[in-house]
Structure 1
Amino acid sequence: MSKSKFHPTKHRSENTFLRIPFVSDTVAKHYDSHCMIDSRFRRAARLLQILWMRDQSIPNAAVEERGAHLGSYLRADAAEDGLNFISPQVHLLALRELLLREEDAAIDEDRLITNTLSSMPLVFNAFGPLALDTKLATSVFCQLLPDFVHSVERIAFEHSPGRRDERFLSDRSAFDAAVHVVTPEGETGIVYVEVKYSEDMAGPCARWRDRYDEALQEVGLYENPASGILRSPPLEQLMRLHMTAQLAVSHRITPRAMFIAIGPRLNRRAQAAFRVYENELLPLNDSDPTRVRFQHFTLESFIDAIDVAGDQETADKLWTRYCDFRRVYDAALAVIAPKMDASSNSTSSSEGTPAETGKRRSSPRGARSTRRTSAAQTSEPLEATHG
């Protein structure tokens, strides 16, 4: 299979905002989505999940089920029916993975099947269709990582190459997914994946171990292994996972590896953490194929790659559920300005938001650019301030 090239489609940038819509307490309470500790992004994402649930006629959990009412949780019977997943096939895959999970794997069943806002079901919804169709997975990863992926062989979930192993970090650090691939050179390799959705990157951090200090020197990844930034809540998990990936190569678990992170474009805390972490790394040495590179992508770019690969139905479902924040804008405006003419809601904002609402606009297949996207292009330069 020849290398695929990838460039995000134009309609994505046209159908998104420059910042996440602000959801006030009044709006959040109106939609049963009020949580005092939510960040701005998380509050908007919670409301988006509630709107999605209403579209699907999915009942939410009552107070007696959870002790508090947040409309983003599924009612018990709906959760058991697998309605937190984008298809029955992905639901069955998640159940199979629960049964065959690795020893000591940190899978929270309640979050997985009940909490629509959690990144755990997002991992299965985004990577499940690829795990079930390696031809689709190959097309997606050849677009995203053309220099590293020739074909995808299989995908594992909640995976660690050495959980609690002294050769690694002696802890439970694990990846959301591990994509087993064949490289263009014919070697086997693994793309280790971390997915963020509504996380504010504020911790808590893992208990610091002496082994972490040793590994920081051992892996040879960082400009300054003693940097306090690496130990800070936004970066500490990324550091542990990247070191785990590098140690997997050092201990010959796999001859080649990459570590990638994926998060929504408008989750500025996550995007800022990815960029700051990248700046802590030593410059790449092309003569060292054992070096585990780090690359970050927006969730929107990942969904685009699925669309370009030919599965528009899955891309539409993922976009509608996780990325269509125009709906949050419209829903909030309907509460704070209910007497305005409906046509006012479709007026483009000063930041160039689209007039069309409620759905994605699909580009013609042949209209997509074939220019390769670099790491900097796949995660836009976002300011590091909270938002």
Structure 2
Amino acid sequence: MSTKTSSSERSSRKGAPPPLLRTPFVSDTVAKHYDSHCMIDSRFRRAARLLQILWMRDQSIPNAAEEERGAHLGSYLRADAAEDGLNFISPQVHLLALRELLLREEDAAIDEDRLITNTLSSMPLVFNAFGPLALDTKLATSVFRQLLPDFVHSVEGIAFEHSPGRRDERFLADRSAFDVAIYVVTPEGELGIVYCEVKYSEDMAGPCARWRDRYDEALQEVALYKNPDSAMLRTPPIEQLMREHMLAQLAVDHRITPRAMFIAIGPRLNRRAQAAFRVYEKELLPVDDSDSTRVRFQHFTLEAFIDAIDVAGDQEIADKLWTRYCDFRRVYDAAMAVIAPRADDSSNSISASENIPAESGRQKASPRGKRSTRRTPTAQNSEPMEAAHG
């Protein structure tokens, strides 16, 4: 199993500030100033909420009216804006989301309110990130050839909120499902599926699914884990990954697909999500390269996924996704504008980052010049035990 977080993450134009080393801290004062204050937000989620509000202001998107749900947080769209599809990066992706909503699988857990009104939810992120790929399988092929070159030759189609056997006793007898299923042809010419879980602002604190006897049985059946009785597999940050990975393996075992992979994607600065991915990975048995029936697990940063879209040739989509979901330097600047409004920070942006090797990751492109496409080595984003610090 690879521990790389990406196959290609690229830095921006020469001379751009280095990527942030950690999530900007948004104080209560700053959060209240931008109408984004929520007492239970983790450090990352608070910064991500503010980033969504800044994005909404850029797009002149009105936030929820006083009588609407989520109005006090500022990151919810007003009802008319939501109905107009402004939570999506294009009208085409909006229509795709509506079609998927109407034709969703039986008992699929798609929350319409979260999808169309909540900017912070990972549900619209899934459509914004994978929708353009679902609409253009050539683009999808180029993206996944970069991310999974040993598994993907071509992408044939993409499904959302998919389960190979929801409530089926052969699987997990529950509603476990994947955010995305990418149907592929492997380099060997076999059919396969890449099952994907996407995280954005989640703090990975649960709640856990109600434990079922079937889970204990499946843990033994799938032969994925060093210790199927491990308490770690039953903890809130890990158990969802466990259920979905088992579901992917059972899809192969029951011949839903000849081959499969399970991948997870989350922002580089969401340390809880990144730590959960790495901790989960350590629970897995090594996979014999000659055994194509074993479902591997791999995780990527959201930034790496966006960069792959850019390398594949769609810079416009990549820039839209980056600006909305990953440009946390804007959060830093917005916080500084509140706590030090008279300070000139432009000549020495985040001086603490100077003389520190830049972590790999995408920077905002210059509107006046073409961004460099120089590739940079990948980097580990956080240590597993940093999970508690957001």
CA contact (8 A) 1:268 1:384 kept: no
CA contact (8 A) 2:163 2:177 kept: yes
> Does residue 368 of structure 2 align to residue 363 of structure 1?
no
- Mapping of residues 230-241 of structure 1, within 5 Å: 230-241=233-244
**Matched residue type, 1:123:** V
Instruction: Tell me by how many angstroms 1:378 deviates.
Output: 6.7
Which of 283, 289, 304 pairs up with 2:292? 289
CA contact (8 A) 2:47 2:328 kept: yes
Q: 3-state DSSP class of the match of 1:65?
A: coil
> Does residue 126 of structure 2 align to residue 118 of structure 1?
no
- Mapping of residues 206-355 of structure 1, within 5 Å: 206-341=209-344, 343=346, 346-352=348-354
Q: How many residues align?
A: 373
> Does residue 57 of structure 2 align to residue 54 of structure 1?
yes
Instruction: Tell me by how many angstroms 1:351 deviates.
Output: 2.0
Q: What residue is the counterpart of 2:12 in the other structure?
A: 11
Q: What residue is the counterpart of 2:3 in the other structure?
A: none
CA contact (8 A) 1:296 1:379 kept: no
CA deviations on 1:77-128 (whole Å, 9 max, x unpaired) are 0000000000000000000000110000000000000000000000000000
Tell me, which stretches of 5 or more residues in structure 2 are unaligned?
Answer: 1-5
> Does residue 76 of structure 2 align to residue 73 of structure 1?
yes
For 1:307 and 1:166, the matched residues in 2 are separated by 42
CA contact (8 A) 1:319 1:360 kept: no
**Compared CA separation, residues 123 and 378, structure 1 to 2 (3 A):** farther
Q: 3-state DSSP class of the match of 1:193?
A: strand
For 2:141 and 2:379, the matched residues in 1 are separated by 19
Instruction: Tell me by how many angstroms 1:59 deviates.
Output: 0.1
**Matched residue type, 2:371:** S
**Matched residue type, 1:183:** T
CA contact (8 A) 2:262 2:296 kept: yes
Q: TM-score, normalised by structure 1?
A: 0.93
Instruction: Tell me by how many angstroms 1:350 deviates.
Output: 1.0
Percent pairwise identity: 81
Q: What residue is the counterpart of 1:174 in the other structure?
A: 177
**Compared CA separation, residues 67 and 380, structure 1 to 2 (3 A):** closer
**Compared CA separation, residues 342 and 20, structure 1 to 2 (3 A):** closer
CA contact (8 A) 2:70 2:76 kept: no
Which of 27, 39, 64 pairs up with 1:36? 39
Q: What residue is the counterpart of 2:381 in the other structure?
A: 380
CA contact (8 A) 1:262 1:297 kept: yes
CA deviations on 1:180-218 (whole Å, 9 max, x unpaired) are 000000000000000000000000000000000000000
CA contact (8 A) 2:264 2:300 kept: yes
Instruction: Tell me by how many angstroms 1:8 deviates.
Output: 1.2
**Matched residue type, 2:232:** I
Instruction: Tell me by how many angstroms 1:382 deviates.
Output: 3.3
CA contact (8 A) 2:183 2:192 kept: yes
**Matched residue type, 1:151:** S
Q: 3-state DSSP class of the match of 1:350?
A: helix
Q: What residue is the counterpart of 2:99 in the other structure?
A: 96
Computed over aligned residues only, the root mean square deviation of the Cα atoms, in angstroms, reads 2.0
CA contact (8 A) 2:49 2:75 kept: yes
For 2:109 and 2:383, the matched residues in 1 are separated by 31
For 1:307 and 1:343, the matched residues in 2 are separated by 28
Tell me, which stretches of 5 or more residues in structure 1 are unaligned?
Answer: none
- Greater RCO (CA < 8 Å, at least 6 residues apart): 2
Q: TM-score, normalised by structure 2?
A: 0.92
Q: What residue is the counterpart of 1:189 in the other structure?
A: 192
**Matched residue type, 1:7:** S
